[in-house]
Amino acid sequence: MRTKKFVYHLLALFVVAATLLAACGAPATEAPAATEAPAMTEAPAATEAPAADPMADLVAAAQAEGTLTTIALPHDWCNYGEAIETFKAKYGIEVNELNPDAGSGDEVEAIKANKDNKGPQAPDVIDVGFSFGDSSKAEGLIQPYKVSTWDSIPDDAKDPEGYWYGDYYGVLSFLVNTDVQPEVPQDWADLLDPKYNGQVALSGDPRTSNQAIQTVFASTLANGGSLDDAQPGLDFFAQLNSAGNLVPLISNNGLVAKGETPVRITWDYNALAAIDSFAGNPAAEVVIPATGRFAGVYVQAISAYAPHPNAAKLWMEFLYSDEGQIIWMKGYCHPIREADMRERGVVPADLAAKLPDVSGAVFPSLDQLNAAKELITTSWDTVVGSDIQAAP
């Protein structure tokens, strides 16, 4: 497990690399602060009233709404299953879960499609790839809100006006069913070997999925490209497809377990959670590739058209509390407030030793991500030509 010093180094890399765009907009709604009592001129009474809970009004308003609608939150992704169940039990609010396997682009489209709809198909909150935060703000699809732990989120991992904020990051890895494929690839180039024919799969459609887009981008770094030139990643996947090694299915842990996609390229937290869920059946391994180590940050935001805006704000308060951040860490994610929490000594010892060594991982800037996203989404069909579809 990386030390606190190493985590600071990773975050420092990200801070240097990220270029955030601040646009004019409405001031962020901040978490309610406790009201200060006026200075007393007389001796206090023997019994004083307890201090007001600064979150009480928000909790009451959220409970009055009664429901939170989420989208694209698989229970085995970053331990969201525990997060959702804990939130429901803690506040007595129902969670309406839309399309758990959706990609970041699908989440944004769900907001657009339900602007005038306050029904159950309108998401309150989204969890999307880093580049989708700023574009969603520019399109007026999200609203500002600053959680009470705002100051401990690194400045370059959040929109200064509070429209979106980093939640966690991971590093792309290979999840391999070793019962089906005992020869585990150690780097991107290994995936071209004929022994992986019909075995390698992405975790989304590169035309819409943030994870799949960044997978293509990551392969660039191991194939002569750079963070400023994603074309070699497209060329690599064209080779993979021509070799017959790329499976045109969106992989998930179930498909890995059944052997339909024995090699899944996914974030390390998804892969490590899969190992736990398999419990040895099938046997599986997780590999952080030797080269092209690529870190991806996801961000949270509240829909500008949220049917349950107070429940959405309370959800954010929960996720960015120490409790919520630790739940993510239990799912092998690197929570965005990890450095602050380690400094204060609130990370349980078993979790402190849980996350893998991802030394050398690079954090692309927002401009680099946007450029790569544009190239990959628009060129995939012509360069690679594989129509990646969800399993029937």
Q: What angle do CA 299, 66, 75 make, to 5 degrees?
A: 45
Which region holds residue 182: left if phi is over 0, alpha if psi is between -120 and 50, else beta? Answer: alpha
Contact 282, 289 (CB under 8 A): no
Query: Nearest Cα to 21, choosing from 104, 137, 109?
Result: 137
The predicted structure's pLDDT at residue 29: 62
CA distance 315 to 308: 11
Is the pLDDT at 94 greater than 50? The verdict is yes
CA distance 316 to 148: 9
Domains of the chain in sequence order: 4-19+59-169+296-352 (3.40.190.10), 170-294+366-383 (3.40.190.10)
Ranking 27-41, 96-110, 335-349 by mean pLDDT, the lowest is 27-41
The predicted structure's pLDDT at residue 360: 86
The predicted model gives 140-158 an average pLDDT of 95
Query: Nearest Cα to 124, choosing from 136, 137, 142, 139?
Result: 142
Q: Tell me the whole-structure pTM to 2 decimals.
A: 0.73
